[in-house]
A = this chain, B = another copy of it.
Amino acid sequence: MPDFSVSFQPQNKTVKVKKGATLLEAASKAQITINNLCGGDGICGRCKMIIKEGQVSGGVSSKLTREEIQQGFVLACQTFIKTDLVVEIPEETWAKEKIIADEDAERFRDFEQELLYKKEYTPSPLITKIYVELENPSLANNTADQQRACDAVRKKLKYRSSQMGLKIIKSLPEILRDFDYRITATVGLRRDIAEIMNIEGGDTSDKNYMVVVDMGTTTVVAHLVDANTIKTIDAKACFNSQGIYGREVTARMMAAERKGTSKLQKLLIEDINRLIGGLAEDNRIDLKNITAVVCAGNTAMGHFLLGLPTQNIRRSPYVPTSVAPPPLRAAEVGIEINSRGLLYSLPGISGWVGSDITAGILATEMNEKEELSLLVDIGTNGEIVIGNREWLVSCSASAGPALEGANEECGMRAEIGAIERVYVENGKILYKTIGEAPPRGICGSGIIDLLSVLLNEGIIDRSGKFIADSSEKLTSTNGLKSFFLTCGQESQNKKPIFITESDIENVITAKAAIFAAMKILVERLDLSFDDIKHFYIAGAFGNYINIENAINIGLIPAVPKDKIEFVGNTSIRGAKIVAFYKQALYKIDKIRENTTYYDLMGADDYIEEFKKAMFLPHTDIEIFHRRQ
């Protein structure tokens, strides 16, 4: 097949692609990040581009106006390349800054420090750097270089045994003699053995950094931590570049089967490398001083990270390739840190309950409490676990990214300019943006508020449909009904910010999937929500969710407010605990072993419960009226 050349303006980047590739794939290859949300399904209409020269094929999208079509606009994800092309990417399509600060991390910073420090044990990072001064050899003590170094490290760290690989052994004679037997050993825990991963001359023990990654389906978050001070230095996030293959992991697994897992792996690894590179650069840290990466995420992401086959995860009986892969050299999968640095991919529970949940259990310590807790992690996939120190049961529900602000016409991540609050004052529907900036879109917490307000104000009915003539901000174009929060005069790009009936349906589907899973799990365990003493809500929207509104739309049951705790991104927090306390590596593996998985996919009781939850708040209103 011939290659076509596609040039993108104004980035001035040209790539070669095969016939049959979409314009979106070409943009991905050119490493141009597009603000698309729907993952190439032609739904979000965010990937508009203008064909300046050349021929393309593909259907006409209803997301484009007649004027746009006449001007050469296409949806990149629906457009196939037929000849060499010159393409213009409008500014609104082009995500100028791929990597952004993880503001969620900022919000949780104090909280996180507190949680990390309340552990009973003293910090003991997964990777330690220790400085040792060896005895100089003499006829009375002519122990071999390797044994001299290993013994000294073992004694200092009080390990039973320590080992090092061939490359380091080979380098020892020179390093020891050049630095007068004063060395710094980088020691990692690999399986049960303390492994001396690196030997440097002199004292470099003050430079020991790790990166902790939450591999979300929608967003990849990375935190740079200092293993010596047990502190988070910086946090960055980016959209998961795999998005071009679908919004949900199922679509990506299908893409992996068609195109090879390595394609998906590459995109994820590139995201992680970009985040690590950005964190290192901004904080002037040499990559060689980053000694480990600890990753958590759903099981499919865990598979993509390592390039493991995913095809059996999405087919009954949903068998993953591995839920507890061994620690590897980060370099083995292409992660760019110290060349001998380790990659820990935390253990998960099943094909649909990943290490984000085991990390969440570790972070909330629900596995150590006598009383019952429920942890719900609201992401693109909703995962729920109930239990205590005796037992843990988990399940999963496919919610889609609507509650992350990533599945609506005007949805966006919780960044500056995102509408994060919607409320009624003096009969008027008002809103508040993050950073008090001009509004750019609505993020998850804003969407929950908005639905609750629309319901309370009688603008939508309990099934989420607009009630005709209920508000002057309600419009209907081509049969598409929308409610306008702002008409554009005050928004950043002068574009209106609105919610469509279809957006509302997506939100209801998402909340119904999660609520139904919670309810089924409680019922299957012969419990009621009243038996749960701690109700942990995790997810990227975090602290800023309005509990009353969440109960009002039926996302969470009407439990007393003081039982509810917003715990933010517990995936990254749990991973950070492992990075800082190596004992936690055993703990999280115990959690994995002790957590049962209930599969709800296709279960009759779940489908029934899901249907009941497709109302606002629920067909059984009583569940949401027992608040104290």
Say which residue of B164, B172, B317 sits within 8 Å of A142 (CB atoms): B317
| CB atoms of B172 and A321 under 8 A apart | yes
Residue of B nearest to A320 (CB): B144
A428 at the interface (CB under 8 A from B): no
**A window 158-175: CB within 8 A of B:** 161, 163-166, 169-170, 172-174
Q: Is the CB of B309 within 8 A of A166?
A: no
Q: Closest B residue to A140 by CB, please name it.
A: B317
Inter-chain contact A144/B319, CB cutoff 8 Å:
yes
> When chains A and B are docked, how far (Å) is the Cα of A174 from the Cα of B308?
11
Residues A319 and B166 in contact in the complex (CB < 8 Å), given A191-B193, A192-B192, A309-B173:
no
Within 8 A of B (CB), among A177-217: 191-193
Contact mask for chain A residues 337-355; partner B; CB cutoff 8 A; 1 contact, 0 none = 0000000000000110000
Contacts known (A170-B309, A323-B147, A325-B166); A137 close to B193, Cβ less than 8 A: no
Q: Which chain B residues lie closer than 8 Å to A311 at the CB level?
A: 173
Taking the closest CB of chain B, its distance from the CB of A4, in whole angstroms, is 33
A164-B324 in contact given A170-B307, A599-B142 (Cβ < 8 Å): no
Distance in angstroms between the alpha carbons of A321 and B307 in the assembled complex? 37
The yes or no answer to A316 lying at the interface (CB within 8 A) is yes
New contact pairs (16) apart from A138-B317, A142-B351, CB-CB < 8 Å: A139-B316, A142-B317, A142-B319, A143-B319, A144-B322, A144-B324, A146-B323, A147-B322, A161-B192, A166-B328, A169-B321, A169-B322, A169-B325, A170-B309, A173-B311, A192-B192
Report A189 CB to chain B, min CB distance, Å.
12
A58 to chain B, nearest CB (A): 35
A318 to B144, CA, bound (A): 9
Shortest Cβ gap from A269 to chain B (Å): 14
Is A145 a contact of B319 with CB atoms below 8 Å? Answer: yes
Closest chain B residue, CB of each to CB of A325: B169
Closest Cβ neighbor of A601 among chain B residues = B139
Residues 485-518 of A, flagged 1 when their CB comes within 8 A of B and 0 if not, give 0000000000000000000000000000000000
Q: How far is the CA of A587 from the CA of B277 in the complex (A)?
A: 47
Given contacts A165-B326, A192-B161, contact A170 B599 (CB under 8 A): no
A174 to B257, CA, bound (A): 13
Task: Tell yes or no: A470 within 8 A of B by CB.
Answer: no
A61 on the B face (CB < 8 A)? no
Count class of interface residues, chain A: 35 or more
Closest residue of chain B to A316 (Cβ to Cβ) is: B139
A170 pairs with B308, CB closer than 8 A:
yes
Q: Is the CB of B316 within 8 A of A144?
A: no
User: 11 A-B Cβ contacts within 8 A?
Assistant: A138-B317, A142-B350, A143-B323, A144-B324, A144-B351, A146-B324, A147-B322, A164-B326, A170-B321, A172-B322, A174-B309
Are A146 and B325 also in contact (CB < 8 A) when A139-B599, A170-B307, A191-B163 are?
Answer: yes
B142 x A173 contact (CB < 8 A)? no
A57 within 8 Å of B (CB atoms): no
Judging by beta carbons under 8 Å apart, are A191 and B147 in contact? no
Given the known A-B contacts A192-B192, A311-B173, are A318 and B147 also in contact in the complex, defined by CB atoms under 8 Å?
A: no
Min CB–CB distance A371 → chain B (angstroms): 29
Determine if A23 is an interface residue (Cβ-Cβ < 8 Å). no
A312 CB within 8 Å of chain B: yes
Complex contacts, A141 vs chain B, CB 8 Å: 317
CB closest chain-B residue, reference A193: B191
User: Would B192 and A317 count as touching, CB distance under 8 A?
Assistant: no
Separation in Å of the A475 CB from the closest CB of chain B?
48
Given A146-B324, A163-B326: A319 and B170 within 8 A (CB)? no
Which residue of chain B is the closest to A599 with respect to CB atoms? Answer: B139
How far, in whole Å, are A540 and B388 apart by their CA atoms in the complex?
Answer: 67
Tell me whether A43 is interfacial, beta carbon within 8 Å: no
Q: CB-CB < 8 A to A317: which residues of B?
A: 137-139, 141-142
> In whole Å, how far is A95's beta carbon from the nearest beta carbon of chain B?
33
Q: How far is the CB of A234 from chain B (nearest CB, A)?
A: 30
The list of the 5 closest CB pairs from A to B, nearest first, reads: A146-B322, A144-B320, A142-B317, A144-B323, A139-B317
> For residues 282 through 336 of chain A, which have their beta carbon under 8 Å from a beta carbon of chain B?
306-309, 311-312, 316-326, 328, 332-333
Residues of B within 8 A of A306 (CB): 166, 169-170
Min CB gap A395→B, angstroms: 13
Taking the closest CB of chain B, its distance from the CB of A470, in whole angstroms, is: 46
Whether A146 contacts B193 in the complex (CB less than 8 A), given A170-B307, A332-B166, comes out as: no
Beta-carbon nearest neighbor of A136 in chain B: B317
* Residue among A318, A324, A326, A332 with most chain B CB within 10 A: A326
Bound-state CA distance A537–B351 (Å) is 62
When C-beta atoms are compared, the residue in chain B nearest to A349 turns out to be: B144
With a CB–CB cut-off of 8 A, which chain B residues contact A174? 309
Tell me which of B142, B146, B308 contacts A169 (CB under 8 A): B308
